[in-house]
Amino acid sequence: MINPFLLTDGYKTGHHLQYPKGTTLVYSNFTPRSNKHAPKGCNDVVVFGTQMVMKQIHEMFMDGFFSKPKEQVVEEIRKEFSMYLGMPYDTSHIEALHDLGYLPIKVKSLEEGTLAPIKVPVLTIYNTHPDFYWITNYLETILSNLLWKPMTSATIARQYRKVLNGWMEKTDPSNSWFVDWQGHDFSMRGMDSVDAVVSSGLGHLTSFSGSDSLPTIYGARKYYGETEFICGSVPATEHSVMCSGGKDDEIGTFRRLLETYPTGILSVVSDTWDLWKVCTEHVVTLKEEIMARDGKLVIRPDSGNPADILCGLNTGPDMYHTKIALYPAYKGVIELLWDVFGGTINEQGYKVLDPHIGAIYGDSITIERADEICRRLESKGFASTNVVLGIGSFTYQYNTRDTFGFAMKATYVEVKSEPYDGMVGRHIVTEKFGKYENYWVESREIFKDPITDDGTKKSATGLLCVEELYSGKIGLYDKVTWNTEDTGLLQPIYVDGEFMNTTTLTEIRDRVKTSL
């Protein structure tokens, strides 16, 4: 276990000496500052991951610092920081923290699963012991490092859900349950670490139930206390399976798979060689066996332009008047399967494939492509629920902290001071080493507003409170008093090493669905 004092930026090592003499409290917040780099439609941020991240940070400090001999962990930091900075490093502040035995911080969060507008803090943090004012922003780096990804992925997943919900409501509302499974997480192989799979994959699961990213099961149980169902998938092949059966006997591989799985959903990758042959010949030959199953065979292409492959190239109304419309590629997978298996026409007048057959596409899907696929299916008279989309690392890995401009900034400090006329402050009575200490502190509302910036980096000021507005959305009030700061929607989740107001993934999912 890494020493947690290494889990920060190098310049943090000296900040405890740089605050004004007598500083006793530093108050900071974590806020999405901009969505200018976010996917279209992501105007608010899904609050997600605060409980998970605080459990991770708590574990890092308990296992990597407090539970180890003081001499060992302190000497490691003294040695490493002295070499790093090129001068002797005084570790007395770290020694004092080890003696204390816990992280003296109070962390408040908006309820996970709710929506936070841009510029509204999702989390606040400040130290609860005056000797450890420096710990608040020492944690900035690791908190930011761990928290931006689950919130970003949860927000993007919700936008997928909004798109799929919209088309379902237009083309097949009787199958609204299907959307839970219509966006399926295929991202694990393209993520940069297993930890990223857990944080991003759980973000995906705030809006969907389908996932092939198995580490999310561990994450949901460990960080959100889930004991029952978390996510699901179905038996599915890969290219090695299809190739091993041989190109000349691909239909034999299909038949063997149908016999291996006589019931339930079976997904078969179908473009190892010739997708159009599968859709116009193999399924025709196997139609009786497919229709006799108590389940669904799902055809899975994953090469080419997803919208063209699924919906075909016949996007114009005059295309059917030409011979070229007879070619499979100009019909697309969904129409080809309809030609073979048929289905029903629902109350909205859209075609729904026979329940024994379906399709999934799991390569290079984006929110824009998901919308295009549903739109083109609708234009051809097909319900959007005829297809499942695999959402991979193309969606969840190509993001950064800047996607929603996440940043943690201090907005308020307290500094010991003798009272003077006009001073805004408060009287502190605290116990220290068995004795009570009395002193006055000056309240200083601080902020940043770079003159060379476009306004994105302008911070809030002072103590903060987030409240529901008359519009139904939530908004920020800054420069508030401690009494007001103690109210509002930001609720304590971690105080002096103890967790409170915990939530579950199930509860978070319910809140996300309510927000749609």
pLDDT above 70 (res 516): yes
Q: How confident is the model at residue 149 (pLDDT cuts 50, 70, 90)?
A: very high
pLDDT above 80 (res 432): no
**Between residues 120 and 446, the one the model is more confident about:** 120
For the ranges 240-244, 357-361, 482-486, the lowest mean pLDDT is seen at 240-244
Give pLDDT, residue 473: 87
pLDDT above 90 (res 472): no
pLDDT above 80 (res 451): no
pLDDT above 60 (res 320): no
How many Å separate Cα 236 from the centre of its chain? 25
User: What value does the mean pLDDT take over residues 29-44?
Assistant: 93
Residue 348 tokens read as 């909205």
How many Å separate Cα 160 from the centre of its chain? 12
Give pLDDT, residue 337: 97
Give pLDDT, residue 302: 86
Residue 512 tokens read as 């996300």
Q: Where in the chain is the domain with CATH 3.20.20.70?
A: 168-396
Q: How confident is the model at residue 238 (pLDDT cuts 50, 70, 90)?
A: confident
Asked if 164 and 370 touch (Cβ cutoff 8 Å), the reply is yes
For the ranges 15-24, 270-279, 373-382, the lowest mean pLDDT is seen at 270-279
What is residue 382's DSSP assignment? B
Collapsing DSSP states into helix, strand and coil, what is residue 42? coil
User: What value does the mean pLDDT take over residues 329-349?
Assistant: 95
Read off φ and ψ for residue 458, nearest 5 degrees: -65, 130
What is residue 63's DSSP assignment? I
User: What value does the mean pLDDT take over residues 204-211?
Assistant: 98
Angle, CA of 261, 266 and 269, to the nearest 5°: 125
Asked if 113 and 46 touch (Cβ cutoff 8 Å), the reply is yes
Q: How confident is the model at residue 289 (pLDDT cuts 50, 70, 90)?
A: very high
Asked if 83 and 30 touch (Cβ cutoff 8 Å), the reply is no
Give pLDDT, residue 99: 97
Give pLDDT, residue 448: 67
pLDDT above 70 (res 353): yes
For 214, half-sphere exposure in the C-beta direction (CA atoms, 13 angstrom radius) is 1
β-bridge mates for residue 440, sequence order: 427
Neighbours of 174 (CB within 10 A): 13
Residue 68 tokens read as 């180890």
For tokens 């063209």, name the residue: 308
Q: Where in the chain is the domain with CATH 3.20.140.10?
A: 11-50+102-152+402-515
Mean pLDDT, the chain, whole residue set:
93
CATH superfamily of this structure's domain 11-50+102-152+402-515: nicotinate phosphoribosyltransferase (3.20.140.10)
pTM for the full model? Answer: 0.94
The third-level CATH classification (topology) of the domain covering 168-396 is TIM Barrel (3.20.20)
453 Cβ contact partners less than 8 Å away, ≥ 6 residues apart = none
Instruction: Find the helix or strand (DSSP H, E) in which 78 lies.
Output: helix 70-85
